[in-house]
Copies of this chain bind each other. A is one copy, B any other.
Amino acid sequence: DYQHVQVPFEITLWIMLASLAKIGFHLYNKLPSVVPESCLLIFVGLIMGGIIYGFNDKSPPVMDSDIFFLYLLPPIVLDAGYFMPSRPFFENMGTILLYAVVGTVWNVFGIGVSLYGICQVKAFLLQDISLLHNLLFSSLIAAVDPVAVLSVFEEIHVNEKLHILVFGESLLNDAVTVVLYKLFRSFCEMPTIKGVDVFAGVGKFFVVGLGGVLVGLTFGMTAAFTTRFTKDIRVIEPLFVFLYSYLSYLTAEIFHLSGIMAIVACAMGMKRYVEANISLKSHTTVKYFMKMWSSVSETLIFIFLGVSTIGENHEWNWPYICFTVIFCLIWRALGVLVLTFFVNRFHVNTITGKDQFIIAYGGLRGAICFSLVFLLPDFRRKKLFIAATTVVILFTVFVQGMTIRPLVDLLAVKRKRESAPTVGEQIHIRFLDHLLAGIEDISGHWGQYYWKDKLEYFNSKYLQKLLLREHNQPKSSIVLLYEKLERKHAMELAETGQLGHVPAHPSFLGNDRTVLTDKNLEDALNLDALEHIQEILARNLYRIRRTGPAYNRHTLPGDTEHMDHAQEILILRHKNL
């Protein structure tokens, strides 16, 4: 009775194949260190496609765009958003947005117009491709792909800033790609294009991008709020994280907003509150399952990419294809150079030449272009576009993906630091943040530290009270880190067997060597002491910051507690002017 179970059976088998392929690669330790996993998976896909083609004598099934956008992409983007290092992301937000918006537009028009120039050469037999069709094609081929970037950059461990620049761009350019792609598509179907339509397109970009973020944040906050009430049914806590983020993606898709932006915003928004609300085991499950899901999705995407490459739906016009690859490389390199020139003029911490090279070279294309090209409306040269997209993807993933690691080694690009920051470092970073926020406050400059501080204030004053459970309220991240380290330490002790059955009391270590006979008293004392220390840690730095700006001529130290913050700022601004 195979017919009956066919759908779930075949899905399960595909996933199984993908997982087994992954295991297979890792059994041979040498292979993954030379060739990126994405290449290997595409290769497996190519072989499978060849086998299917050989046996059936017809093209193997191409990856359905619906399956890709509805089921395979969301887990990867969710994983990316949830584990996004928020500090470097927000610090480099301006640069990332510049690359994502201006850079992508630059690439689209650059590639589109140059390809149109190529089409004018009579010898290439391409005169029937209009400028609009070229622009439509370039709008889908220009965007850097988050899946491809993630899979390659995770293996080469470049420094955090470089990573976030490339990866952030690949995520945020989704809005631009969606708008441009849909714009040119509708232009292709219109008889005449008016100036109004072009302006509407520009306006639409903001709607699509910001709308996506808004939808995501709404769902993220709802998710955080929901997890406030799951105390009695811990087992379904992880579910909400997945359900709400998926709903945010789907809702954004319904309204033609950027689903990727929505799910990233949802994940980043809820992470902090969900993490505090749900139990430790639930959180392990969430993290683990997210990684697992995205890893399987990624594997499936690359395998399908390989399978879909085989077949007869290509038109091999080599001049067009070759020039596409060349223009993709040139325009990206130019774009990065020009944009970085402007970025470096406004930043102290500049982007070096090496970094620029890696940013330009890391502009990999992947499955998103591939799915979009199949969604193109049918016209005479669609097969040429499919062929060109396939070649660009394979070129970037194989050639660039395989050479980027040796290049990073060769150029001695700054790597990621291996060790996690110590508690001391964390305290210092935090202290500097507060200091800089204070300086910005006094100097009247509304910089990132100023906004960060305001956001933090809003968060601790309103959001936390609404979204967190009662007993979770006051813990600062340093206390959390301390608890985590403590827990890790305890596990290590237990695993190496150094844990005695009577706990080591601080009195064993310090000068106070009095042995307490009453065990209970000992515990109680210790607990109190620890809570006290945590209190100090959690409150003090914030209190310093809050009372800090009070030391000015106009107010007395005692008054500041009751002073309204907005008023305080007004006075500062006034002084400044």
Contact = CB atoms under 8 A, between A and B. Distances in A.
Interface of A: 1-2, 4-5, 8-9, 12-13, 15-16, 19-20, 22-23, 26-27, 66, 70-71, 226, 229-230, 232-233, 235-236, 238-240, 243, 246-247, 250, 253-256, 281-282, 284-285, 288-289, 291-292, 295-296, 483, 486-487, 489-491, 493-506, 508-509, 523, 526-527, 529-531
A242 to B, nearest CB: 9
A243 B8 CA distance: 11
A405 to B, nearest CB: 18
B12 A243 contact: yes
Interface SS of chain A: helix
A310 to B, nearest CB: 26
Given A19-B240, A239-B296, A505 B500 contact: yes
Given A243-B19, A500-B505, A1 B254 contact: yes
A499 B494 contact: no
Contact of A288 (B12, B27, B229, B281): B281
Contacts of A292: 235-236, 238-239, 285
Given A285-B292, A504-B504, 4 more contacts: A236-B292, A239-B292, A496-B526, A504-B508
A490 B496 contact: no
Contacts of A493: 490, 499, 503
A22 B253 CA distance: 28
A4 B66 contact: yes
A1 B235 contact: no
Contact of A503 (B229, B243, B504, B529): B504
A18 B15 CA distance: 27
A376 to B, nearest CB: 17
Contacts of A256: 1
B503 A226 contact: no
Contacts of A529: 497
A70 B8 CA distance: 8
B500 A5 contact: no
Contact of A236 (B22, B243, B490, B530): B22
B288 A235 contact: yes
Contact of A284 (B27, B285, B508): B285
A526 B497 contact: yes
A226 B4 contact: no
26 contacts: A5-B254, A8-B246, A9-B247, A16-B243, A22-B236, A23-B230, A23-B236, A26-B229, A233-B295, A235-B288, A281-B284, A284-B285, A285-B292, A486-B499, A487-B491, A487-B495, A490-B493, A490-B494, A496-B526, A498-B503, A499-B503, A500-B503, A500-B508, A501-B509, A502-B508, A502-B509
